Structure 1
Amino acid sequence: MTSSAVPATPDEDPACYVGLESTEAERRARLRGWSPLRLLPPGSMVTLEYLEGRLNFEVEEGRVRRAWKG
């Protein structure tokens, strides 16, 4: 029997990335198991589906201004 593996969502508050430089935030997130990552400019249109394990960063002037799961 095969099972489809759903990536686990790391147990941390995405707010811990707010204020970091985007490259450092991306590096830390990948080390902590977030996959995939989305880096978005403010006001970007995004799809609304929730994807387990994904972390979204709103990046302005090279810094994370907002972070959320899914």
Structure 2
Amino acid sequence: MAYKFLITIILFVMVMIFAVQNAAVVEIQLLFWEAAFPRSLLIFMMLLIGIVIGWFARSIIRIKRNTE
């Protein structure tokens, strides 16, 4: 139990350090849309999008294997 808590605290501290060091605002332009986000938020959003795409791809592969 204490081991999991310690790992959670270490990961939380690392995420906070990452967020503070990447706090600069970055502008994003996509066609006619423009927005400004902190760099760390943008990196986390891209990470989440990648996780979701990977999960969907894995689900599709599993479905195809089960139907064969």
TM-score of the superposed pair, with normalisation by structure 2: 0.24
> Which structure's residues are more often strand, by fraction?
1
Q: Relative contact order, CA 8 A, sep 6+: which one is greater?
A: 1
Larger radius of gyration: 2
More helix by share: 2
Q: TM-score, normalised by structure 1?
A: 0.24
